[in-house]
Structure 1
Amino acid sequence: MTIEAPCVLDLRGTTLDLTRHVAVMAIVNRTPDSFYDRGARFALDAAIAAGFAAAEAGADIVDVGGVKFAPGPPLPIEDEIARVLPVVRALAPVVAVSVDTFHPEVARAAIAAGASIVNDTTGLRDPAMADVIAEGGAGVVIAHSLAAPRMPHPDPHYDDVVAEVAAFLTERRGLASVRGIPHERIILDPGHDLNKNTLHSLELTRRLGELAALGSPLLVALSNKDFVGETLGRDRGDRLAGSLAAAVHCVLHGARIVRAHNVRETIDAVRMVEAIAGWCEPVLLRHNMPTGEAA
């Protein structure tokens, strides 16, 4: 492991110590057009059940979204609130809840309903979002992206994608700080695939340590993304192995939160890394132990 330094998040009074622990953020998209599950969790009961199942499996955070990142027609803010709030209210008593939104109005309502984190894929494009988060005492995920919300950005160009993403995240973290969000509530996300092609996302992954060196907890959202599919030639439903490989590489280079669709498998992968690093003990000790049975 390359990074082992104090890294404690303050999530509205609950602390999440990431010094020797990798958190898994489960994804619950309450959208009819989610790129991965194609609306399987759009129904309210299905979304809540998925969140409870993720918490039971060991997810530290459940990320609830009502609008996908990909380009498309705008959804009225009232509709987005109606999608996410019942899920936030149901899950907040049992697990830390993040809300995936770029609208300050949605963030404010979600924080009031119990959300601990706002996951803004536009990287605080609207500075009012930082004010809402600061006032509500929530944490923030600042993700790198280039385009206006839900707008296309064809053929994105970077002279040095890692350097440019690092500069963006540093600048937006500074904005968050000035607006009153403490350092211990700020999480950075390089934004794999968000206005980036596969070569860009691979470069971010390869050089992730440079972003971990920025000093804030680093989240990676790699799960089943197109850069994994294009690298391996795999369709959307056949990207688990590639996603886990990318996640493990990122953990080894400083990522402390992994956002994932396949919660149980991702938890197993990161716990195995933790055990190899000596950060946690095995669940069982039987194989070739004095009082155990040979396997």
Structure 2
Amino acid sequence: MLSTGALRAHLLAARLAGPVATSREESLRSYRLFAARDPRVLLGLDPRGGWAQPELLRLMADKCGVSADPAHVSGPDVIDPERTLAGLDAFARRLREAALARAPVLFGTGHPHRLLGFYADVARALSAVGCAVLTPAQGVAVDIVTRFGVRTYRLGYVRGVALVQEPGARAAGGAIGAHTHSPLPVRIALGALAQAGRPLPELVVGDHGWVCGAGQLGFPAIGLADTDDPALFVGEAEGSVSVAVPLDDGVPAEYYRPLTRYVLGRAGLTR
């Protein structure tokens, strides 16, 4: 199993933590939009608290390690690797609980070109110990509001992980899918399971709207989030999201492989 020290070094070298590619300007803009209840950054969450921007900045400093100084308005943002490690340990514990319970699990990502491999390897490990990896509503149309207007996608699955695709797209090589923050895909997937009377997930694993949308509906949800995704950390603070792991969610896909080894080792899911 990858050691904590080795993973910490990798997080910093790959810029998954420490100074990251996400800029301070991007993060502060997201906090302003979240405080204004802009659905683009709420990701399906309906926060109970007021979460004005100063309060949100303090939360993100606590959860991620970003600067709490409101006068710091430019440059790269920063994630504390110790908080990332703690988040990954909590993530692994939830995977271990699901594995022991042989729980049905739903995986979904809005970052298929970056994070698909991470989730797919976790899905495979859970399936190997008897967890049902759910794939509901495959091929169903999803109308998502984008900056280009409403676009229709299809809900698809690659290696057990849900994503949205352009109509007619093939998941060649397991990497084709659209980047999205929308909670609509997870709502459609969960609704299809309920309508069919099939078992519902006892854990949802993913990012963006997959985690917040599921958590808002009361499903245990864990996932990864960058410093410009405050919704997951607000959800964790309020109890609707079980685990939010702070890290850069936009680095090359291969940089997440050591994280996979680490969480599967911690969860007791390696052979």
**Shorter chain as normaliser: what TM range?**
0.3 to 0.5
- Please give the TM-score of this superposition, normalised by the length of structure 2: 0.33
Between structure 1 and structure 2, the one with the greater Rg is 1
> Which one scores higher on RCO, CA 8 angstroms, separation ≥ 6?
2
- Please give the TM-score of this superposition, normalised by the length of structure 1: 0.31
